[in-house]
């Protein structure tokens, strides 16, 4: 069936087709628009620049918002052709996805700017959320978000342990230092602030214990903080490494299927490049995997029987003579 305009639009916005100059151009324009808009918001926060270049910043905001609005409208319109949203209420289900909500937030500030009297500083902060749209064009950021989603339960458990440690350490230092420093540890909120700064191993030095028991507690809490804060980082690094290995294994599997009994033609190269971009495999990793596969096939070439006409591998079916009856003669 011939692809429709809507299906072509959905495919165009879903990912970058390196073989199509138009696809590369569209995604380059969208990524550049995000960067230009965020840089404009940053410079617009400087009062001297905001007053002097008001019209330039306003023009950048309007043009970028129009581009984001067109992109959002096209994504919603082409959502029924996305296999993930087939069926009833496909557009509504797409609009409720996290990335679609980010796209909607990206075009809302200009309406708040024109039709409300909200503080402009608040609008600037909202506009900075447009940087989240850049995750579509960065494989590394997309991989990082995926790892966070996969390890959400583990991060939740680590966060719960950290929260308990914060409360306990705040209560202990409050008991130890309240009478000696009522101005610094006057309530549990002040003690909680000190506990957060100490467990994070930042230690600003603006609030420090002075009693012997308080100093002892501060030493224990600081040493404990080194281990507790390192736990989420270790979990993230381990999960990130595991996901990279899974993607490399999947790419190796796809490459093995494509290269089995075939020459590395341009068509095969295109398929492998598509798999490489979908999985976020670097060019060096992909070349190393392909060379490894070809070396294995080259060494095992004597054991593989191929058809002399089409050069395809032959699959032999071995029968068990004891369990499989011989074919009946007619």
pLDDT along the chain (330 residues), means of 10: 81 73 86 88 85 89 90 90 83 88 82 66 68 70 76 79 88 90 89 88 83 90 80 79 84 78 68 73 78 67 51 48 49
pLDDT at 322: 43
Cα separation, 208 vs 184, in Å, equals: 8
Cα separation, 174 vs 181, in Å, equals: 9
Closest CA to 185 of 161, 144, 213: 213
Closest CA to 12 of 24, 2, 1: 24
Spatial neighbors of 90 by CB under 8 A, at least 6 apart, are 79, 80, 82
3-class DSSP assignment, residue 313? strand
pLDDT at 320: 41
Cα separation, 185 vs 195, in Å, equals: 11
Cα-based distances in Å from 64 to 60, 61, 70, 122, 134:
6, 5, 10, 19, 14
Stated pTM of the model: 0.59
Spatial neighbors of 95 by CB under 8 A, at least 6 apart, are 76, 79, 101, 104
Cα-based distances in Å from 313 to 252, 302, 307:
19, 12, 6
pLDDT at 308: 54
3-class DSSP assignment, residue 44? helix
């Amino acid at each position: 069936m011939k692809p429709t305009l809507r299906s072509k639009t959905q495919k165009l916005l879903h990912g970058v087709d390196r073989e199509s100059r138009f696809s590369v151009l569209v995604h380059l324009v969208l990524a550049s628009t995000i960067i230009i808009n965020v840089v404009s918001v940053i410079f617009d926060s400087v009062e001297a620049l905001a007053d002097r270049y008001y019209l330039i910043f306003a023009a950048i905001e309007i043009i970028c918002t129009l581009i984001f609005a067109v992109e959002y409208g096209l994504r919603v319109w082409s959502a029924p052709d996305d296999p993930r949203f087939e069926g009833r209420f496909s557009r509504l289900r797409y609009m409720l996805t996290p990335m679609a909500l980010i796209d909607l937030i990206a075009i809302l500030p200009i309406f708040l700017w024109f039709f409300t009297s909200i503080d402009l500083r608040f609008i600037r902060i909202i506009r900075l959320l447009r940087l989240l749209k850049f995750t579509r064009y960065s494989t590394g950021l997309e991989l990082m978000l995926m790892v966070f989603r996969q390890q959400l339960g583990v991060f939740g458990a680590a966060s719960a342990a950290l929260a308990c440690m914060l409360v306990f350490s705040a209560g202990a230092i409050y008991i130890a230092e309240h009478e000696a420093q009522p101005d610094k540890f006057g309530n549990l909120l002040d003690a909680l602030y000190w506990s957060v700064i100490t467990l994070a191993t930042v230690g600003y030095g603006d609030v420090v214990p002075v009693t012997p028991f308080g100093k002892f507690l501060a030493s224990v809490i600081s040493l404990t903080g080194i281990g507790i804060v390192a736990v989420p980082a270790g979990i993230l690094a381990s999960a990130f490494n595991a996901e990279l290995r899974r993607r490399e294994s999947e790419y190796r599997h796809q490459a093995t299927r494509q290269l089995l009994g075939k020459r590395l033609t341009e068509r095969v190269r295109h398929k492998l490049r598509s798999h490489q971009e979908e999985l976020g495999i670097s060019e060096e990793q992909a070349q190393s995997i392909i060379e490894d596969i070809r070396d294995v096939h080259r060494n095992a070439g004597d054991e593989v029987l191929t058809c002399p006409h089409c050069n395809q591998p032959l699959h032999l079916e071995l029968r068990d003579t004891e369990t499989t009856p011989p074919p009946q003669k007619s």
